[in-house]
Amino acid sequence: MNSESEDEHLPGEVLKEAQSTVSQIIIPKKSSRQYEITSNEFNGWCSSKKIQKVSEALLPAYFGK
């Protein structure tokens, strides 16, 4: 994924399209359903906490929930 500073300059729709394209290339079809479920859960958690930027420092809080 791009650095946060590069992501800031992309419109939300463009960023989502780029992430989707990368996901299709990197994630095997066999795993894609589980990835989507996990990704949606994480994004929902971020939204509920009003988190706008994801960083490495955030991950312990998420996994410790």
Q: Which residues of 4-43 are buried (b: 16+ CB within 10 A; e: fewer)?
A: eeeeeeeeeeebeeeeeeeeeeeeeeeeeeeeeeeeeeee
The pLDDT > 90 percentage for the chain reads: 38
When divided into structural domains, the chain yields a total of 1
User: What are the tens digits of pLDDT across the range 30-41?
Assistant: 888 998 899 899
Provide the domain limits for residue 26: 4-63
Which residue ranges in the chain fall short of pLDDT 70? 1-11, 15, 20, 22-24
